[in-house]
Amino acid sequence: MFSLASDDKEKRMREFYREAQVMQADVYAIGVVIWLLVSSDVPEKGKNYLHSVLNSTDVFLSFDHWMILKRSLEPNPAKRPAISEVVQMMQVV
């Protein structure tokens, strides 16, 4: 039998994980919006935007901007930067 404290801790951990997933999805969405703005690309459901960024030959950005896009569009949410890191990277650039 689980104690109430254990149940509360498990519930808080699930909520924290769910919020982290939402934030990582937001980072991806920011990467997509930035890409659409700089490339004039047309948004498409299911499109691999990281592939578009890595294979682009007609969009000229600084290395730092490319890294922001590349990291934000990472397919694995666990490897995407936190939104605070994206904001910090954009302020430096």
pLDDT > 80? residue 39? yes
Give the Cα-Cα-Cα angle 75, 76, 80 (nearest 5 degrees).
95
Distance between CA 50 and CA 71 in Å, rounded?
Answer: 9
Per-residue pLDDT of 73-82, as tens digits, reads: 998 888 988 8
* pTM of this structure: 0.68
Among the listed residues 37, 65, 31, the one whose alpha carbon sits nearest the alpha carbon of residue 51 = 31
Among the listed residues 23, 24, 68, the one whose alpha carbon sits nearest the alpha carbon of residue 50 = 68
Q: What is the pLDDT of residue 45?
A: 87
Domain ranges of the chain: 4-92
Distance between CA 14 and CA 25 in Å, rounded?
Answer: 17
Mean pLDDT of the chain: 81
